[in-house]
Structure 1
Amino acid sequence: MYCDTCLVNLCKACVGEHFSVDLSKSHKIVDFKDRNSTLLCPKCTSHDKETGEMYCCECDVPVCSGCISTDHLGHNLMKIMQTHDEKRDNLIKEQVELNNKIFPTYQDIASDVQNRMSQLEKEYGELSTTITKHGEDWHGEIDKLVMELRVEVDEMKKSQLQTLQKHLDEINKNIHDIKDEITLIGTVLNSTDNANTLSMPSKADVYKALPSKVIVSLPEFNPKELLADHLFSLTPIPKKSDDHGYQMKTTEKTPEARFSSAIKKMFTEPHTVTTIDTGYEKLYNVASLRKKEIWTNGIDNKMKLFNVIQKSLLKSIRTKSGNTPEDIAVTKSGDLVYTDYSARTVNLVKNEKTEEVIRLKNWIPHGVSSTSSGDLLVIMGSDDKKQSKVVRYSGSTEKQTIQFDDKGKPLYSSGRYNRFIAENRNLDICVSDCAANAVVVVNQAGKLNFRYAGHTPAPKKHKPFSPRGITTDSQSHILTADHNNHCVHIIDQDGQFIRYIDCGLSKPWGLCTDTSDNLFVAQWKNGQVKKIKYYQ
């Protein structure tokens, strides 16, 4: 037997004695197999010997009949069994939710984290292997760089020694002439012929004006900056935490963090550092490959790589189809990429071998840009010349299409016109739309930020804004070539005009910046690239 009231086991002989032990309780004796079938009501919180017959919903406690008319008078009261049934139903629902939804979700999250840890182990192993394999390449790069610097130093030394030798030759000639003059004066003084004394001119004043001092100085050698420009580096990844990063059966992606960099001050007057003659009859585009090298393309089917310091041609690559490239860019890994308008392709040049990455159907590629994430952005127009759009590619896979604004209107003009594209440091996508005479900037999601239609009065020609090449710098400033006004516009990331860069430009077309924010301008008419410094 079993007492459901006292929760004790009993044999039949002890049942009578159990009733007499505590006469204050209402003992319920049941068969042992039916134990715990009787619900035990809780005691009143104010009177521990009284059973809580009702439940106060406001105080959230069981109460006896005596408390109902005193401490809990006027409160919302429910029968204790009704409250029990409701709470039991809620507990059943909670158990189902925990068992069928929440617990499996946590299991999935744990599995996901373990999988990502395993993947991370694998990827870091591959990264370490890649770095090890690149060790020899880095050593070779350093050796090559050292040889280039030694050649450059030898040329500087030769030039400066020639300058000093020329200066020394002039001084030695003066010394020789002065000696002759001294000897001649001595001869005249020892002569008894007055005519010689009277006709002797004075040349001392000529030699009193001493020659200017020629100063030469050694170039500054900065090995840290040199290595930073020519070797690879690892970019630290910030730790991210999101209190609501996990959801039931899904993981919500957080937006990309925006880049930041130290504020730089501009020169009052930008100046040209060097000018490179590319040999093109008509020059179109320029793309920076580290500080010392630039890729260029012009009206023919060749893309040329130049050394900026020596102004020398390093190599020349022909397009795969024999067509003129529409635009060129340099990828994050340092490879050349170009668009072929006639072949409808985007091509990658790696180790001097050309590979077709993207082939379009019913669309024609114009401008191309490589993003900080390694994706390619391509601005393209339709065959019927009625549509234009920007497409983001990861390799040859299309990831994103940007074509219309929030009202369904086209973001970009249509027709057969040049269009150029660049990604800003804040991940905005900037398009130079030549037909619309505007720069169109959208955010990473493709939402329109602003349109820039030029600034008046423009220098020199005062013609309408005619944008061509476009690039950005470390300050998230946007630079675009104004072809007809022979200048470059600089605007901020919100579309506000900052200044013009003039520097004697002639029909500027392509633009790019290097890692130190030096600006390279491809001049369409004379085939020259100007390297311009506009930051201090």
Structure 2
Amino acid sequence: MDPRYCAQDILLCDLCQTNALQSHCEFCGDNLCVLCVGKHLSLPFSKHSVVPYSYIASSLDLDYENCLIHTQKHCELYCEKCDTPICSTCISSGKHKEHDISDEVQNRSSKSNGLEKELKELKYKINPVYEDIESDLKSEKINLEKHYEKLTTAVTKRGEEWHREIDIIVKNNKSEIHEMKTKHLAVLNKEENDIQQITSDIKQSILDLKTIMDSSDVSLTPAYKSRNAKFRHLPPKVKVSLPSFSPHQINKEKLNQMFGTLSALSIITEERGYTMRTSEAVSCPPVKPVVDKPELIATINTEDNDLMNITMLNDEEIWTSGTEKIIKLYNLQGKLLKSIHTKSGSIPSDIAVTRSGDLVYTDPRTRTVNMVKNKQIQEVIRLQGWKPNNVCNTSSGDLLVIMVSDDEQSKVVRYSGSSEKQTIQFYSKGALYSYNYDDLKYICENRNLDICVADSGAHAIIVVNQAGEFRFRYTGHPTSTWITFNPAGITTDSQGQILTVDCYNKCIHILDQDGQFLRFIDNCDLKLPHGLCVDTRDNLFVAELEVGKMKKIKYM
């Protein structure tokens, strides 16, 4: 048997991968058997050109190279194992014994076929995708210019508004100065006129006395009446306290907040199967493991019978609210530092602290969100047809407000100042949040910018991403002996973990940022836990209903 055909690979049809190939499509580069030619010609292309495969084989360059070992011989064979052309003498030498040997023509044909397939993939699959990406990038750059132009215009417009307001303030101050100056001048003019009149009377008296003294008419003397006693009593001096202007110190941080804030630039790099997020607003903290057994560090007694909401002002002071119309600030020793009475005299639904340290509270009776600045309560947001429920501050300085409507709807709205920026209400399966006019829904922002809502009406934690797209729902850890999961307060820590109160089961659930249950905190003698917050060291503070206590727990 000719050794060239020992252990030779049979070239198969590209379509069925079963029958030996006999034809070749010059347009597509596919090699075909007899049965698959008709099927291939039915594909939606008009340029098919099917020729016998022998035509392709014969059209290959048959100018065989000389063997490097047997220089007088041509390399008409190919050793698959050695991956090199060989001659018939190489076969006889036994060096390639038991190696897979193929015909050099078939080898070239096979490689040519592979090149044709690569060309087809590059030309008709890969290149069009890159062209589309390039086109999308050009469109994105055009839109980028428009977007940043709008941003610049908005900032410029805001600046013009401030200039107008400042011009009005300056104008009003100048007008007030002019009015005070006019009043002051009028008082001095009156005093000057009075003195001038008295001076004139004195001069007249002097002339009268000289006339009497120079006259020989003795009858004039008895007729003279002295006015010296009147002149001796000096008129009162008008004392004017001059006005002054005391410019207030300019707080650049507060000015920036009042002017408006730019949300952080968020850049997302997407790969198949996962999303890697980078953001200017989020940095990576050091990894802190959860301790095996959470530890009760301190119990803080307050003057309140019912504690519902707590939020940290700083690591030493904490705001609280409950079933009274008073919001109170305590230190960690339980000393009352400050009390704020709500403007309407009604119970606040929730409290939060802004990045600049201002207190924010929601008033469901007046349908307002209010801010306490410099001991003054300012109305920030007023709603129509909706009742504000709970509120949180975000890393960008926005406020997230969860609210319920008079017609049985619930939603989350993002505000920049008093301006509505975003509404989160629905997803592919309908409404995101349950409706109950009296149920509280607590809200917080995670460090990855997810928005987390504890929905007691739905017995679930519902999490969406920054764009408002649904991520996951957590309905409690499956333990059949427990009372139904009823979440209340919710917070997140430096690790992006989500902590939520399970009020009636008297414990805290800890989840990772993807909603996977990590562990319970159920060993710290919690009594009807309700409100939650963490400080910058990841110490957990828990407000207890009915007993008026806060518990500080170390769990990291």
Q: What TM-score, normalized by structure 2, do the two folds share?
A: 0.51
> In the alignment, what sits opposite 2:500?
480
Please say if 1:440 is aligned against 2:447: no
The Cα shift of 1:242 comes to 11
> In the alignment, what sits opposite 1:306?
330
> In the alignment, what sits opposite 2:397?
374
Contact 2:266 2:278 in 1 (8 A): no
Contact 1:406 1:447 in 2 (8 A): no
> In the alignment, what sits opposite 1:322?
345
| 2:531 corresponds to which of 510, 515, 523 | 510
> In the alignment, what sits opposite 1:405?
427
| 2:485 corresponds to which of 459, 465, 490 | 465
Residues 1:323 and 1:422: Cα distance change in structure 2 (over 3 Å): same
Residues 1:406 and 1:268: Cα distance change in structure 2 (over 3 Å): same
Residues 1:267 and 1:348: Cα distance change in structure 2 (over 3 Å): same
* Correspondence 1:193-342 to 2 at 5 A: 256=279, 259-308=283-332, 310-342=333-365
Cα distance in 1 for partners of 2:268, 2:428 equals 29
Q: Which amino acid aligns with 2:546?
A: K
The C-alpha deviation readout for 1:182-211, integer Å capped at 9, x for no partner, is xxxxxxxxxxxxxxxxxxxxxxxxxxxxxx
Cα distance in 2 for partners of 1:325, 1:259 equals 33
> In the alignment, what sits opposite 1:489?
509
For structure 1, list consecutive stretches of 5 or more residues without a partner in the other structure. 1-100, 123-131, 138-236, 244-253
> In the alignment, what sits opposite 1:520?
541
Cα distance in 2 for partners of 1:318, 1:242 equals 44
The Cα shift of 1:383 comes to 1.1
The Cα shift of 1:311 comes to 2.2
Cα distance in 1 for partners of 2:487, 2:497 equals 16
Cα distance in 2 for partners of 1:490, 1:241 equals 28
Cα distance in 2 for partners of 1:239, 1:434 equals 33
Residues 1:462 and 1:241: Cα distance change in structure 2 (over 3 Å): closer
SS at match of 1:267: coil
Cα distance in 2 for partners of 1:302, 1:240 equals 39
The C-alpha deviation readout for 1:99-146, integer Å capped at 9, x for no partner, is xx99xx89x79x969x79x98xx9xxxxxxxxx9569x9xxxxxxxxx
Contact 2:381 2:418 in 1 (8 A): yes
Q: What TM-score, normalized by structure 1, do the two folds share?
A: 0.53
Runs of 4+ more than 6 Å apart = 237-243
The Cα shift of 1:390 comes to 0.3
Residues 1:239 and 1:382: Cα distance change in structure 2 (over 3 Å): closer
Contact 1:491 1:499 in 2 (8 A): yes
Identity score, percent: 53
Contact 1:284 1:523 in 2 (8 A): yes
Q: Which amino acid aligns with 2:359?
A: L
The C-alpha deviation readout for 1:378-430, integer Å capped at 9, x for no partner, is 0000113x2100000001100000000034x0000001311110000000000
Residues 1:451 and 1:241: Cα distance change in structure 2 (over 3 Å): closer
Residues 1:134 and 1:491: Cα distance change in structure 2 (over 3 Å): same
The C-alpha deviation readout for 1:284-327, integer Å capped at 9, x for no partner, is 1100111000000011100000111x321100101010001101
Contact 2:267 2:279 in 1 (8 A): no
SS at match of 1:365: strand
| 1:499 corresponds to which of 519, 528, 533 | 519
The Cα shift of 1:274 comes to 1.5
Residues 1:268 and 1:406: Cα distance change in structure 2 (over 3 Å): same
The Cα shift of 1:532 comes to 1.0
Larger Rg: 2
For structure 2, list consecutive stretches of 5 or more residues without a partner in the other structure. 1-137, 160-248, 255-262, 270-276
The C-alpha deviation readout for 1:417-474, integer Å capped at 9, x for no partner, is 111100000000000001111000000011110000001338xx82111100110001
Please say if 1:451 is aligned against 2:473: yes
Contact 1:441 1:449 in 2 (8 A): yes
Contact 2:264 2:279 in 1 (8 A): no
Contact 2:530 2:543 in 1 (8 A): yes
Please say if 1:390 is aligned against 2:379: no
Cα distance in 1 for partners of 2:301, 2:268 equals 53
The C-alpha deviation readout for 1:26-80, integer Å capped at 9, x for no partner, is xxxxxxxxxxxxxxxxxxxxxxxxxxxxxxxxxxxxxxxxxxxxxxxxxxxxxxx
CA RMSD of aligned residues (A): 3.7
Cα distance in 2 for partners of 1:112, 1:382 equals 36
Cα distance in 2 for partners of 1:494, 1:337 equals 29
Residues 1:241 and 1:329: Cα distance change in structure 2 (over 3 Å): closer
Residues 1:343 and 1:270: Cα distance change in structure 2 (over 3 Å): same
Q: Which amino acid aligns with 1:326?
A: S
Contact 1:259 1:426 in 2 (8 A): no
Q: Which amino acid aligns with 1:437?
A: H
Q: Which amino acid aligns with 1:292?
A: E
Cα distance in 2 for partners of 1:330, 1:305 equals 12
